[in-house]
Amino acid sequence: MQNMFSCLRWTNELMLLMFFVGSLISVCLGDIRSDVNVLFGGDRVKFFKERRRVDLSLDQYSGSGFEFKKSFIFGKFDIEIKLVPKNSAGSVTTFYLNSTHGTSHDEIDFEFLGHLHPLRYILQTKIFTNGVGGREQRIHLWFDPTKDHHKYSILWNPQVIIFYVDDTPIRIYKRNRGVLYPNMQPMTLYATIWDGSDWATDGGKVKIDWKEAPFVASYNSHNVDGCVWAGSGTKTYCNSKSPPWWKKIWTLSADEWKKLGWVKKKFMIDDYCDKKKRPLEC
Ligand SMILES: *[C@@H]1O[C@H](CO)[C@@H](O)[C@H](O)[C@H]1NC(C)=O
């Protein structure tokens, strides 16, 4: 409720802003049923009456997914997810941005890799720019992500990408000099669940157990605050004489750096930055 009211108030302020600024476009989305299209899986994408929650399920015939109708050029994207309980080995649950309207491939991903109960979920984050990936980081979470909904967010602006879990930063990717950075094309937001048995769990050694199907992940309370892409032929950047708050972020606060340090120290399993030849952005 709290969330919804602040959302409404904010929309009003934005309308005022838009009146004065003209082309600054931003949205506040609350009703998931009207904000997304079913991408695949038919009625495995299940909407709920309160219109803020949608469940995705996976069985031996299909996974499922939805995509947001609008595409964005930068923004802050939040959604709450409750992951597949118990044995989720082989399944992959996602929330990500993909540059499906562009010429080259950019992607910013949360991927939750299923596990054999009672082991723990692995959260993998990925960044592709200009078709180049290989920037995976993997962490465990500091809570059981199958018990409740937790908030997962991507902040993406011209100078920095930050991944958050319940507002704790788990990764920052800065556009330092010489770093490849996704800033040339719009991105669309997706959420999916699918069978990743060939790689997701223990490098593909543990397959999905269909006796446990359907595998259900629940999404809730999204909040998308971005610069809406107006369609092909339009300029890449939103006009922002009065930039939205998420565009003014350049780095983490001292407190956030501390938290990120804690995450890396306690929960990081795998980091592409730990190479002999350290990538520029690391
Ligand atoms: C992202 O979009 C590209 C096409 O631009 C596609 O090849 C790729 O499979 C998509 N990635 C995901 C995870 O959907």
- Domain locations in the chain as residue ranges: 12-168+177-272
**Which pLDDT score, from 0 to 100, does residue 20 have?**
37
* 13 is a catalytic site residue: no
* Mean pLDDT for the stretch of residues 147-168: 97
Give the residue, 51 or 219, on which the prediction is more confident: 219
Residue 279 has pLDDT above 50, yes or no: yes
98 Cβ inside 6 Å of ligand 1: yes
Query: Structure pTM?
Result: 0.88
**Which pLDDT score, from 0 to 100, does residue 241 have?**
67
Q: Tell which residue, 89, 81, 155, has the closest CA to residue 119.
A: 89
Give the residue, 2 or 188, on which the prediction is more confident: 188
Atom of ligand 1 nearest to the CA of 107: 1
Atom of ligand 1 nearest to the CA of 96: 13
Looking at the domain covering 12-168+177-272, what would its CATH class be? mainly beta
**Which pLDDT score, from 0 to 100, does residue 238 have?**
65
264 Cβ inside 6 Å of ligand 1: no
184-243: pLDDT as tens digits? 889 999 999 999 999 999 999 999 999 999 999 999 999 999 998 887 766 555 666 678
Residue 139 has pLDDT above 60, yes or no: yes
pLDDT band at 93 (very low <50, low <70, confident <90, very high): very high
- Burial per residue of 138-164, b for 16 or more beta-carbon CB atoms within 10 angstroms, e otherwise: bbbbeeebbeebbbbbbbbbbebbbbb
| Residues whose CB falls within 8 Å of the CB of residue 246, separated by 6 or more in sequence, listed in order | 74, 75, 76, 155, 157, 225
pLDDT band at 51 (very low <50, low <70, confident <90, very high): confident
Most confident region among 12-21, 45-54, 83-92, 227-236 by mean pLDDT: 83-92
* 111 is a catalytic site residue: yes
Q: What one-letter code names the amino acid at 31? A: D
Catalytic residue among 13, 67, 80, 107: 107
